[in-house]
Structure 1
Amino acid sequence: MTAAEPQAQQPMDAFRGDRVYLGADHARNERRTWIVAAICLATLAAQITGGLLFHSVALVANGLHMAAHVAALLVAAVAYAAARTYATDPRFTFGAGKLGYLAGFANAAVLGVTALLIAIESVGRLLAPEEVAYDGALALAAGALAINLVCVWLLKPAQSHAHDRDGDLNLSAAHLHLAGDAVISALAIAGLAAGRYLGWTWTDPVAALVGAGLLAHFAWRLLSRTGAVLLDINPSPELTAQIRGRLEGEGERVLDLHLWRLGPGHHAAIIVIAAADPQAPQAYRARLAGLAGLSHVTVEVRDHTTA
């Protein structure tokens, strides 16, 4: 090798024999998503029918949101199935781990549209109030809240990954849909109770309007997180700093470093190193051993005199 010639690039996963970048809880999350989708589908009919029967905009809003849940959960479940099916498909250069982020982004967009529809309906009811059958609406709202809480619990991330910033955003999107619905159900109960016992007829649509604002906030947060992954924005300044620290520990310089996410808990890095006494790429890869979430690494080494 001449001094100006870079040493061969070597990906970390070339020795693994696969490029499967699925989350550690992929099977669990897929199974629970299908279960919750079935529960939500059964609940949807009751909420829409009850809202129309009792003339409650909050219940109608809850039903519309539940319809969005069913669609969102089906998208999430299909994304899990597709990611598992195509995990080893060579057509996916870096695996199929990002399918979940694509589904999460789509579901966040649906959540935002749902918030807009609820807000429009709420304003309409404020301008043109309708009589509400409070007793029946309250009973149905309470039942919807109970079901939502069960579904939220079912989709709760596994304890080992509950606070993992690199976790499964596909699950987070589905979980957020249901958590938002639980909030709307609670607000609906408060608004209906105020109307029933205090005579404040305006509280039912106002409760739905507040819920719409919260959903819009949740949707924006999720769009930002999933969009960052899909656009390959650096997912972890901390991991980037750790990589630099380990590779520059003996006088080398990191000339170029690209870090992006491949799937829940999996990252890829392309690194160009300049050194006065270049070592084999394997030596630099060995320095990175043990860094959590670093699954695919490509190293190029250059002589510092020509870098």
Structure 2
Amino acid sequence: MTTAEPPADEPMDAFRGDRVYLGADHARNERRTWIVATICLATLAAQVTGGLMFNSMALVANGLHMGAHLAALLVAAGAYAVARTYSTDPRFSFGTGKVGYLAGFANAAVLGVTALLITIESVERLLAPAEVEYDGALVLAAAALAVNLACVWLLKPAQSHAHDRDGDLNLSAAHLHLAGDAVISGLAIAGLAAGRYLGWSWTDPVAALVGAALLAHFAWRLLSRTGAVLLDINPSPELTAQIRGRLEGEGERVLDLHLWRLGPGHHAAIVVLAAAAPQAPQAYRARLAGLAGLSHVTVEVRDHLTP
């Protein structure tokens, strides 16, 4: 039985260097996340203040939602900083690429709690309606929508990774937060406009309820995606099949295969295979060269007679 070691012509320092599993756009995404967090802080203060002044539940709900986004953005930005700072720390056996997923999981929990709080307050407003100053609230809601759309654009993934399903989920989570907020801003405007021009006072809290339902959906989606990475669920059956196909190309048999995600665009694989005439582990590693997203491979080779 043999396992893969660094190739003889590969320096040991270079072999250790493959423990850095940060996303390709890590620096860009970190910088933009801090910029958007600053914008959201100013918007949060304006929305909540205006909502209290104009007595608009939808506007206050949108402000609270922005508060959740601000917290999410700060956590995301902090995760980028931590992952970058400790990316070469040997204490992290498989690098710091998963820090962003941990941040995303925490953000999803906060988003779910926010949805619950908005739901409770909106139901109370439906049961005990309050007068809303629609004109001022509409202006502020429209301004919030403009800010949201600008932030969504700033957090758009780089063009080269816009459709990469293995991209930076930390950025995707922040982008999802703000895209949802843009939709909720639109709902707030619709609810306020209906109250202002049709006299339907119930539309303001109902708009907030619809927004809360959307938040809950986003929270569950984000929990599912980040949780799958943190629990090392197989991220790509397609990549698993490609690995198996390349390694069994000359009569070998894969006995055990584990694939998991290390960070944005990075996967690791541990493979145990048997062969009648075993080759060196490096030969099997070479067969996997060029597989997109496969950054770390460990191969154990057994004689087919070995139990």
Counterpart code for 2:204: D
Check whether the contact 2:6–2:15 (CA below 8 A) recurs between aligned residues: no
Hey, what's the Cα distance between the residues in 2 that align with 1:160 and 1:16?
A: 27
Check whether the contact 1:104–1:170 (CA below 8 A) recurs between aligned residues: yes
Counterpart code for 1:10: E
Listed as ranges, the matches of 1:148-297 within 5 Å are: 148-297=148-297
Residue 3 (structure 2) aligned to one of 2, 8, 11 = 8
Check whether the contact 1:11–1:296 (CA below 8 A) recurs between aligned residues: no
Hey, what's the Cα distance between the residues in 2 that align with 1:16 and 1:30?
A: 27
Hey, what's the Cα distance between the residues in 1 that align with 2:225 and 2:192?
A: 35
**SS of corresponding position for 1:63:** helix
| Cα displacement (A) at 1:29 | 0.3
**SS of corresponding position for 2:302:** strand
Hey, what's the Cα distance between the residues in 2 that align with 1:297 and 1:146?
A: 46
Check whether the contact 2:167–2:265 (CA below 8 A) recurs between aligned residues: yes
Check whether the contact 1:11–1:298 (CA below 8 A) recurs between aligned residues: no
What residue number does 1:17 align with?
A: 16
| Cα displacement (A) at 1:67 | 1.1
Deviations 1:178-232 (A, max 9, x none): 1111111000000000111111111110011001101111110110000000001
Hey, what's the Cα distance between the residues in 2 that align with 1:114 and 1:8?
A: 49
Distance 1:11-1:193 versus aligned 2 partners, 3 A rule: farther
Structure 1: which 5+ runs fail to align? 1-5
What residue number does 2:26 align with?
A: 26
**SS of corresponding position for 1:251:** coil
Check whether the contact 2:4–2:300 (CA below 8 A) recurs between aligned residues: yes
Check whether the contact 1:55–1:132 (CA below 8 A) recurs between aligned residues: yes
| Cα displacement (A) at 1:169 | 1.0
| Cα displacement (A) at 1:66 | 1.0
| Cα displacement (A) at 1:177 | 1.2
What residue number does 2:90 align with?
A: 90
1:104 paired to 2:104: yes
Hey, what's the Cα distance between the residues in 1 that align with 2:15 and 2:3?
A: 18
Report which stretch shifted further, 78-87 or 105-114: 105-114
Check whether the contact 1:11–1:299 (CA below 8 A) recurs between aligned residues: no
Percent of aligned positions that are identical: 86
Check whether the contact 1:10–1:297 (CA below 8 A) recurs between aligned residues: no
| Cα displacement (A) at 1:44 | 1.1
Hey, what's the Cα distance between the residues in 2 that align with 1:210 and 1:149?
A: 19
Question: Which aligned runs of 4 or more in structure 1 are off by greater than 2 angstroms?
Answer: 8-17
What residue number does 2:121 align with?
A: 121
Counterpart code for 2:25: D
| Cα displacement (A) at 1:10 | 2.9
Calculate the TM-score normalised by the size of structure 1: 0.96
Hey, what's the Cα distance between the residues in 2 that align with 1:169 and 1:106?
A: 13
Hey, what's the Cα distance between the residues in 2 that align with 1:43 and 1:85?
A: 30
What do you get for the CA RMSD once the two structures are aligned? Answer: 1.2
Check whether the contact 2:257–2:271 (CA below 8 A) recurs between aligned residues: yes
**SS of corresponding position for 1:17:** helix
Counterpart code for 1:306: T
Deviations 1:135-182 (A, max 9, x none): 000000000000000001000111111111111111111111111111
Deviations 1:229-264 (A, max 9, x none): 000110100000000000001100000000000000
Counterpart code for 1:305: L
**SS of corresponding position for 2:3:** coil
